[in-house]
Amino acid sequence: MKVKICGLRTLEAAQTAERAGADFLGFILWPKSRRYVSASQAGSIVQAVRERAMTVGVVVDQSLEEVVDLARRCRFNAIQLHGHEPPEYAEALRTKADVRIIKAFRWRDDFSVDGANAYPADYVLLDTFKKGMAGGTGEAFRWREAAEATRRLKKPLFLAGGISEANAKEAAQTLSPFALDVSGSLEEDGEKSPEKIRAFMNAVQDIRNEAAT
């Protein structure tokens, strides 16, 4: 099971996440997010951390031209579409920017297994639905309710929404996701905490070790 640490805003946090073993580093380029970073900020951090982790730019219903430019300027490995981007948008983005695509859906809102399987993305991300919010709710959805549906997914699943050190094992056992997507639980006073990042990654390693025995 892999880990994506999202909402990174500083070089220290990104380097801590990568060194602790995170597989994906997420940067939010949607100006309405409280975790927003500019293209110049994200680009400079990406240049410094491209050792092993994949870098992901997170966008929400932004124009194709803007996102292609962001992907190229920041040299992201992947773009996460967290809005209501249609399939043809993803196809064009993949071609023009040469990036992998993560498409976010919300449980009990716009999620359909058939729709997720048909969408031209490399990965599917399932998040908590909360009216008026694109993501970042800090709340988990009903994982057991979603378990049967997610078993029919044909693409790797990122599980987001309220993931923390306390419930990571339950998430892994309930949905067997390809990756956990974590953000808010690793923060202290609105900023990523190196100590919480390391503690979370240690907990995930324990889960991996237990699964391997």
Which pLDDT value is given to residue 108? 77
Any bridge partners for residue 78, and if so which? Answer: 56, 100
The secondary structure of residue 54, as a DSSP letter, is: E
d(CA 154, CA 131): 27
Mean pLDDT of the chain: 92
pLDDT tens column, 182-198: 999 999 999 999 999 99
Which of these, 113, 105, 187, 102, lies nearest to 152 by C-alpha position? 113
- CB-hemisphere CA count at 13 Å for 66? 13
The predicted-structure confidence for 72-88, as pLDDT tens digits, reads as follows 999 999 999 999 999 99
Predicted local confidence at residue 135, as pLDDT: 47
Judged on CB neighbours under 10 Å (0-12, 13-18, 19+), 142 is exposed
Asked if 3 and 202 touch (Cβ cutoff 8 Å), the reply is no
Phi, psi of 134 (to 5 degrees): -80, -20
**How many independent structural domains does the chain possess?**
1
DSSP state of 196: H
- Domain of residue 49, residue span: 2-212
- 35: which 2 tokens? 């975790």
Q: Is 105 helix (H, G, I), strand (E, B) or coil?
A: strand
Phi, psi of 163, rounded to the nearest 5 degrees:
-75, 135
Measured at the CA of 21, the angle between CA 135 and CA 171, to 5 degrees, comes to 50
Residue owning tokens 């975790």: 35
Distance in angstroms (rounded) separating the CA atoms of residues 13 and 200: 13
pLDDT tops 60 at residue 181:
yes
Q: What is the pLDDT of residue 52?
A: 85
- State the CATH number of the domain containing residue 20: 3.20.20.70
CB 135 within 8 A of CB 115: no
How long is the chain? 213
Residues of the chain with pLDDT > 70: what percent?
93
pLDDT digits 0-9 by tens, 41-71: 999 999 999 778 999 999 999 999 999 999 9
pLDDT of residue 141: 78
pTM of the model: 0.93
In angstroms, rounded to a whole number, what is the distance separating the alpha carbons of residues 51 and 91?
28
Q: Return the residue matching tokens 């919300």.
A: 106
28 pLDDT higher than 80: yes
Please report the pLDDT score of residue 83 as a whole number: 94
